[in-house]
Structures are given as C-alpha cells and as structure tokens.
Amino acid sequence: MAAFRLADLARELGARVVGDPDLVLNGPAPLDRAGPGDLSFLANPLYRNLAASSLAGAVLLRPADHAALENPESRSWLLHDNPYEAFARALELFFPPRTEWPATIHPSAVIAEDAVLGEGCHVGPHVVIEAGASIGRASVLLAGCVIHEQVRIGDHCLLHAGSQVRERCVLGDRVVLQNGAVIGSEGFGYAPGADGVIRKIPQTGIVILADDVEIGANACVDRATMGATEIGAGCKIDNLVQVAHNVLIGAGTMVAALTGIAGSARLGARCVIGGHSAISGHLKIGDGVMLGGFSGITASAPDGVRLAGFPAVSHESFLAQSAALRKLPALRKTIKDLEERLARLEAGSAGEDE
C-alpha cells in the first residue's frame, strides 16, 4: 500500500488542504478506527461529532461541514464538494486495482477448437470455453469460469472465479462478473396443464449486458423466454440479485443486494433500487426512480419519484405511516380508556332513567 503526502492527495483528488500539507498518510480508515497516519471521510452531516473526535490524521469532507465544526484546528482536513466520490478515488490510490494480467492460457483450461480468443486474453485454471464462443481483446477469465457455446464477450472484460455465461449471451466491453454470477440461466417459465402436469416453457432468448456493466457475486440474470433480457450501459447489480426473464434495465441504474425483479419488468435509466426490494412483473418504472430498502413495488411508477414500503408509497407517505405506526400502542390504550369511560357514562345514564 502506497503512502501519500496530504498535498499530493489533494492534487490527485482536486481537494483543498486545511492544515499540514506535508502530513504523510499511510492508508484509509473509518472515523471511529482511524489513527494519526490514516485518512478518513465525512459524507453525512449526522456524523460531524464523530469527525470532530476522530483520531484520524486527516478527514475528507465538504467545506460546509468543515465550517460547522467547533474545533477545526484539531487536525488537517481535505475539503471537497463530493467527499464520498473523492474518497473512492483515494482508495484506488492507496490500493491500486489490478488492471493487467499475463496473456496466458492455463494448461488445465478446456477450450473448443473453434472458440476465438482476442489478443492479450488471460485464461485461468479449469476454465471451459465451449464451441463457437468468442472472447474480446485483453479479457480475463479467472479460475473455473464456464463460457457456453456461441457466447460473445467484449474487450477488457473481467470474469472472476466461478462465474458462468450461458449459451448465446452477449457481454459488451469492460463488463465485470463477480464470483459465482450466472448470466443466461433459464427463466422461471412453466405452464400448468389441465391434466395437472406443469410443463416447462423453453427459454429460447438470451441476455445482453451492455458496456461497463458489473454483476455482483452469486447474482443471476435469466435469459429471455423470447428475445433478450437487457442490462443497460454502466448498470451496477449487487450480490444475490435476481433479474428474471425479459427484464429491461436502463443505463446507469444501481440495484442493491437481495432484490428480485420479476419477469418483463422495465426499469428506466439512473434508478437506485434499495436492498431487499421486490418489483412485480410487467411493470414500468420510470427514469431516475429511487426505491428505499425493503420496498415492494406492485404498480408502475413515473419518472423521478421516491418510493418506500410495501406496498410502496411515496417516501413522504411512508415516513408518515411509520411515525403513525409507532403511536399505535398508545392510541390503542387511549381508545380502550375512552371505551371504558363511555361504558361507565352509559351505565350511569341508564340508572338515572330508571
């Protein structure tokens, strides 16, 4: 891991130094665990007190958060308008990602005679590449990857150990598959017959992943029944996400872990889907939609809305409902007390009538 002077980090990140520009930082650390040689960051103003008490040598934060601190002279600071994004870049500086692999083919790999490998490919141990598959320039297939027949993979892709791409699916350039990801598994299509037999519907389509898509560990993107399941350019799909057959996801959308997207749903561009959400089939979700974690989407949504809860409602309504739910025990007691008072009043009134 590299070490950096604060001034050098500021130059690389486009940040402004407040404090000692010659301070040497040896690595990143969270605010509550950082020491004098560490860089930490503050992106959420709720944690200003933690930033103020942190032992970090320097903290990356917004100018407004720095101005709100009571004792900013306690350490050095890096000021940046987007500290979260800047800290991500700092992590890459301290821990440069591996970008180069030797152009070698491990002797244990099994490669069909008519498979095509572009210049500079790396093929790791026990990789299987079936008939008619083509792999683009400088793509990397790590141990145990399986590339089925007639698959097309673009340039500079990285397929981590144990990932699979099923027959005829297409990956664009710079696609990343994390460990255990499965692209093109058969969609969940069955037709119950009058005789009680459940018949499998052949899944004849493919999956298309556009350029710069990343699929998380053990996530599954099912092939279409007919046509294609499509993931747009730059989409980021987290671990353990299920994308069903014929789903279309627009460019730049992010889907957090444990989310399930049912068949033929359409998600727009630049959506953010919170973890453990569920989206019903055949719905249309507009561009720029944000779903809170554990959302259940049972109706289509227009562009730009923020939804949460199950069934999902506007974020504001969800907060109001959540606040009301917390008051239910007290409200129930109040109603019970009122019922008892009313019963006593009615009993007294009945006695007077007699």
245 is a catalytic site residue: yes
Q: Of all residues in the chain, what percent carry a pLDDT higher than 70?
A: 99
The catalytically annotated residue of 80, 148, 156, 245 is 245
> Cα–Cα distance between 223 and 220 in angstroms, integer?
10
d(CA 324, CA 336): 18
What integer is the mean pLDDT of 254-263? 99
What average pLDDT does range 85-109 have in this prediction?
96
**Which pTM was predicted?**
0.90
Confidence of residue 79 (pLDDT cuts 50, 70, 90): very high
Helix (H, G, I), strand (E, B) or coil at 46: helix
Q: What is the mean pLDDT of the chain?
A: 96
Q: What is the pLDDT of residue 145?
A: 99
CATH class (in words) of the domain with range 163-311: mainly beta
In this prediction, residue 352 has a pLDDT band, given cuts at 50, 70 and 90, of low
pLDDT exceeds 90 at position 289: yes
Question: Does 68 score more than 70 pLDDT?
Answer: yes
Mean pLDDT value of segment 173-200 = 97
3-state secondary structure of 214: strand
Give tens-digit pLDDT for 295-310.
999 999 999 999 999 9
Question: pLDDT at residue 353 above 70?
Answer: no
> So where are the chain's domains?
4-94, 163-311
The secondary element (H helix, E strand) that includes residue 171 is strand 170-171
Q: Are 38 and 27 a contacting pair, CB within 8 Å?
A: yes
Architecture of the domain made up of 4-94: 3-Layer(aba) Sandwich (3.40)
pLDDT digits (tens, 9 = 90+) for 104-155: 999 999 999 999 999 999 999 999 999 999 999 999 999 999 999 999 999 9
